[in-house]
Amino acid sequence: MLYLDTSAVLPYYRQEARSDAVQELLLRQHEPVLISDLTRLEFASALARWVRMGELLEPQAQRVERAFDDDVAAGRYTVRILGPHDVEQARRWLLRRTTPLRTLDALHLAGAAAVDAALVTLDASLEEAATALGVRTLRDWP
């Protein structure tokens, strides 16, 4: 099973440098990929930021929002609700102080690790931390 963090989901809905690779990866999947409730929250934050920064107009942001929500509703993604065990695992990893892991990235890692899913991310720092912490990643995909 694959777990996509937000950096790997966003290019599917807005043209970016790695959009083609993300689209190809998602289209190859025969089962839903895993995201978390954190992904949904960060997706909303990215849309708000893009509108504030003038990168998207409000009608465009609404279309992107609908497309993502429709994909969630249609079962393209399985949304995993992060819970106290995920928060505790993230906290333990942060307390090691051995990686430049950030709070929300630690939660993404915990969400993937809890179900032994391979993390898919476009964030090189997060992928490096995942490897250092023993969390599986999907390598050489983009």
pLDDT score for 140: 67
142 residues of the chain, pLDDT tens digit each: 999 999 999 999 999 999 999 999 999 999 989 999 999 999 999 999 999 999 999 999 999 999 999 999 999 999 999 999 999 999 999 999 999 999 999 999 999 999 999 999 999 999 999 999 999 999 766 6
| Beta carbons within 10 angstroms of residue 6's beta carbon | 22
pLDDT score, position 142: 61
- Buried/exposed code over 53-63 (b: 16+ C-beta within 10 A; e: otherwise): eeebeeeebee
What is the model's pLDDT at position 38?
A: 98
**Segments making up each domain of the chain, as ranges:** 2-133
Question: Domain 2-133 carries which CATH code?
Answer: 3.40.50.1010
Closest CA to 1 of 107, 85, 90, 113: 113
